[in-house]
Homo-oligomer: A and B are copies of this chain.
Amino acid sequence: MTYQPPLADIRFILRDALQAPAQLQALAPFAEADEELLLQVMEESGKFVASAVAPLQRVGDEAGCRFEQGRVTTPPGSREAYQAFWQAGWPALACAPEDGGQGLPWVLEGVLYEMLSAANHGWTMAPGLLHGAYECLRHHGSGELKARYLARIASGEWLATMCLTEPQAGSDLGLARTRGAAQADGSYRVSGTKIFISGGEHDLTDNIVHLVLGRLPEAPAGPKGLSLFLCPKLLPDGARNAVHCERIEEKMGLHGSPTCVMRFDEATGWLIGEPHRGLNAMFVMMNAARLHVALQGIGLLDAAWQKADAYARERRQMRAPRPAGAPAAGGPDPIIEHPAIRRILDVQRAWIDGGRLLAYRTGVELDLARHHPDAARRAQAQSWCSLVTPVLKAAFTHQAFHGASDCLQVFGGHGYVREWGIEQIVRDARVTMIYEGTNEIQAIDLLVRKVLPDGGKALGELLLSLRAGLDAGRAADADVLRRFAELRYLTATLAEAARTRPLLASEAADDYLRAVALALLAWAWTQIERAPGAQAPRWSAPAAALRARVLPEFDLRLKLLQALCGPLPG
């Protein structure tokens, strides 16, 4: 089966559980965007995904990308679908009207990319990188650069890349060696080799705009000596720039996306932002880019669940156990009636639905952080994005891969062969745990860079703000309140112990991120259960699976963390 955009589910989370349309319409730039408009755009984007992008998923994997003499050919149909995509205005959904965008809330872009990734992760890679480049250029580019590139990136007429990684510089970008040398005309000559460049070369668009991290001659060593350069494939006069694709990688999955080794050979480029502040220029888009990846995870998991759920309703093997006194079936039962299969499916739904609520909420917070009139509310939204984004990126990409593998198991041997398409999702999903910062880096980002420096204050405030909406008299809410309290106590313990034990934070980071993710997931479901209609089995079965099967890991992680902290002194 081909992925079906789950429009009713998305509407339920956006409108019924989050009341997102009302919150967004209260912001000045979105005053015209009422609930009807938002939901209509969401539904139209779903139709585009289903009709133009989903049907290319299989051929993208099987035909893959071809490389010949520096040129890359994308799988059949990719170019046509991309041309239809940008010409319909989808890339510009959340771009500013002054850049030619539609000025709609970010969360609609998030929903669009969740569906795109679910339908066809490989195809979605190239357009997915536009948005970071747009933000980066919009906030840090010179007037001249913006005039030349911003509208065409916003519209998607030209695609863009982020050229960060080098063979010796992966998680540690400070080791990058690419160099930029100033020229008399204000441009730079950029030289170096970049690897793992998604969409570094392709036939989807005529021009490709590369954002390249490199060093100026006088740069200090390490990450604080990196500058950001814009190097287009085609120069403003139409000439080919000295930007070469050397080869594309053979990968586990994601065959529809060309992963390029790019050589910059005294290529012409222009500085974006200030010298040595290249990483800073990229921070502006980091939360949105990581949230994109979290949504990829949610989308891929939903696509895997859709396949497994449909198969489990059709496939009959053996009689399922029945409650005492229930009539025995005449023949083999649909395997969805076997407890091990039912559990796999319900557990994935617990992650998908809760994840959607958390990710969409974070999307709304991104919008609030930009547009809310009150500075304190903007700061609060910024703090939410800063703390929650790495949690969602790591937890939902982890679940995408592992949950998709569990969905593969539902098919038995049929899952291991190509026929049903489930093994492709497992292979495609694996990379999301690695790119945009590995999940281990997300954990360090959360605990070492964000939670511990203020002794857990910002996280504590976030949990307090969520607590305010809970009702200790409801069992599910009380359970979340307990988890929040334990998390806050643990955070204080960690902060205290980490002061004298420099290794502790790195040792604790992965478990800590999991504990936060599970507490947030538990909270998300209390919000889902408040929405009208959430008593239906569609929602009550995953809620039960969450409490019986998913949340017990929270206590395990807490125990591991307490053991790491050891007894507190004094």
Contact = CB atoms under 8 A, between A and B. Distances in A.
B402 A443 contact: no
Interface string A181-199: 0000000000000011000
Given A321-B505, A553-B556, A249 B430 contact: no
Contacts of A427: 252, 427
Interface string A419-459: 10001001100110111001110011000000000000000
A506 B338 contact: yes
A165 B379 CA distance: 60
Interface stretch (A265-273, A348-356, A406-414, A524-532): A406-414
Give the one of A316, A409, A555 with max B CB within 10 A.
Answer: A409
A559 B556 CA distance: 10
A284 B355 CA distance: 48
Contact of A438 (B168, B175, B412, B559): B412
Contact of A172 (B172, B318, B434): B318
A560 interface: yes
Given A171-B412, A321-B502, A340-B510, 14 more contacts: A165-B413, A170-B412, A170-B414, A195-B413, A249-B417, A252-B417, A252-B427, A409-B439, A413-B435, A416-B431, A427-B427, A552-B556, A555-B556, A556-B556
Interface string A303-314: 000000000000
A259 B417 contact: yes
A250 interface: yes
A240 interface: no
A415 interface: yes
Contact of A323 (B250, B254, B324, B502): B502
B170 A502 contact: no
Contact of A417 (B169, B251, B433): B251
A119 to B, nearest CB: 20
Contact of A318 (B171, B423, B556): B171
Contacts of A423: 251-252, 430
A443 B172 contact: no
27 contacts: A168-B316, A169-B317, A172-B317, A172-B332, A195-B413, A249-B419, A250-B417, A251-B416, A251-B417, A251-B418, A252-B416, A252-B417, A254-B416, A320-B506, A324-B502, A338-B440, A339-B507, A340-B444, A408-B430, A409-B438, A413-B434, A413-B435, A416-B434, A423-B430, A548-B560, A552-B556, A552-B559
A303 to B, nearest CB: 16
Contacts of A249: 417-419
A501 interface: yes
Interface in A36-65: none
A503 B319 CA distance: 12
A538 interface: no
A409 B440 contact: yes
A503 B171 contact: no
B402 A416 contact: no
A229 interface: no
The binding surface of chain A is classed by DSSP as helix
Contacts of A521: none
A544 to B, nearest CB: 12
A509 B342 CA distance: 14
A341 B439 CA distance: 12
A69 interface: no
A322 interface: yes
A134 interface: no
Give the one of A172, A419, A553, A563 with max B CB within 10 A.
Answer: A172
Contacts of A254: 416
Contacts of A323: 501-503
Contact of A171 (B172, B317, B431, B505): B317
Interface in A513-570: 548-549, 552-553, 555-556, 559-560, 563
A536 to B, nearest CB: 23
A39 B290 CA distance: 53
A345 to B, nearest CB: 13
B413 A500 contact: no
Contacts of A509: 340
Contacts of A440: 338, 340-341, 409
A113 interface: no
A414 B401 CA distance: 18
Contacts of A405: 401, 430
